[in-house]
């Protein structure tokens, strides 16, 4: 089952987050450690966490085991918290202002993508932006998105929006909600849009 919450170190403190939600809660180091312990010891979610989830996001997690309900991110000696990843430089638009030049349709192979995401997780990355090119065109986009989401990252996808009609993409975003979808708007009219994106 997908986790409902993420508990994570963040800078000099700790956060409790809900995937897909903008708002998060600062929690004490003791509460973070308590959640960590509860997940490893097979205990229920502590009452304060149940209450916070209800107050903050309207979730009912009462009686749920901590393991499964909350994904606890391990502390990292590197202490990174944000990263941005150009997963593939290819794009189906040809914007006149694009800084990517020829936009070669290329990115890492699947095994290197997994390795990169593992490195980012171990480095402490909590917020990850996946961009391109057009990221949703990458052949491994959905697998990489899911892998990062399961690793407890809050994902921002920067997209030109051209593939957001696809049912498989919409299902992915519904099942594993992103922190943000940032959609570029390239024209106020069909004509200005086509002129700019070519
Ligand atoms: S949508 Fe973005 S990546 Fe694609 S051509 Fe336009 S500016 Fe470049």
What pLDDT score was predicted for residue 166? Answer: 97
**C-alpha of residue 91 to centroid of ligand 1, in Å:** 6
Please, which residues have CB within 8 angstroms of residue 32's CB and are 6 or more apart in sequence? 7, 9, 14, 72
97 CA closest ligand 1 atom index: 7
Is the separation of the CB atoms in 122 and 95 below 8 Å?
no
- Mutate which of 134, 159, 183, 187 for ligand 1 pocket (most atoms within 8 A of beta carbon): 134
Instruction: Determine if ligand 1 sits within 6 Å of the CB of residue 134.
Output: yes
Give the angle 183-184-187 at the CA atoms, nearest 5°.
130
- The span from the CA of 104 to the CA of 88, in Å, is 8
Give the angle 87-93-98 at the CA atoms, nearest 5°.
75
Query: What residue segments make up the domains of the chain, in order of their start?
Result: 5-72, 82-197
User: Atom 8, ligand 1: which residue's CA is nearest?
Assistant: 98
Instruction: Determine if ligand 1 sits within 6 Å of the CB of residue 159.
Output: no
What pLDDT score was predicted for residue 91? Answer: 96
pLDDT in tens, the chain (198 residues): 689 999 999 999 999 999 999 999 999 999 999 999 999 999 999 999 999 999 999 999 998 999 999 999 999 999 899 999 999 999 999 999 998 888 889 899 999 999 999 999 999 999 999 999 999 999 999 999 999 999 999 999 999 999 999 999 999 999 999 999 999 999 999 999 999 999
What pLDDT score was predicted for residue 1? Answer: 62
Instruction: Determine if ligand 1 sits within 6 Å of the CB of residue 133.
Output: yes
**C-alpha of residue 98 to centroid of ligand 1, in Å:** 5
**C-alpha of residue 119 to centroid of ligand 1, in Å:** 27
Instruction: Determine if ligand 1 sits within 6 Å of the CB of residue 91.
Output: yes
**C-alpha of residue 196 to centroid of ligand 1, in Å:** 10
How much is the pTM? 0.95
Does domain 82-197 fall under CATH 3.20.20.70? My reply is: yes
What pLDDT score was predicted for residue 60? Answer: 96
What pLDDT score was predicted for residue 169? Answer: 97
């Amino acid at each position: 089952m997908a986790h409902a919450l993420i508990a994570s170190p963040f800078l000099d403190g700790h956060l409790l987050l809900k995937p897909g939600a903008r708002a998060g809660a600062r929690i004490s180091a003791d509460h973070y450690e308590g959640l960590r312990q509860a997940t490893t010891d097979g205990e229920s979610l502590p009452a304060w966490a149940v209450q916070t989830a209800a107050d903050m996001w309207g979730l009912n997690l009462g009686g749920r085991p901590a393991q499964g309900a909350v994904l606890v991110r391990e502390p990292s000696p590197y202490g990174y918290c944000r990263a941005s990843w150009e997963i593939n430089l290819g794009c189906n638009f040809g914007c006149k202002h694009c800084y990517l030049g020829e936009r070669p349709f290329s990115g890492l192979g699947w095994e290197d993508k997994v390795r990169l995401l593992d490195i980012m997780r171990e480095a402490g990355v909590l917020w990850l932006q996946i961009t391109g090119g057009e990221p949703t065109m990458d052949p491994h986009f959905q697998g990489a998105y899911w892998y990062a989401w399961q690793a407890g990252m809050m994902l921002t996808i920067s997209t030109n929006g051209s593939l957001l009609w696809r049912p498989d993409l919409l299902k992915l975003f519904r099942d594993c909600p992103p922190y943000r979808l940032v959609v570029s708007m390239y024209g106020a009219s069909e004509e200005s849009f086509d002129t700019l994106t070519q």
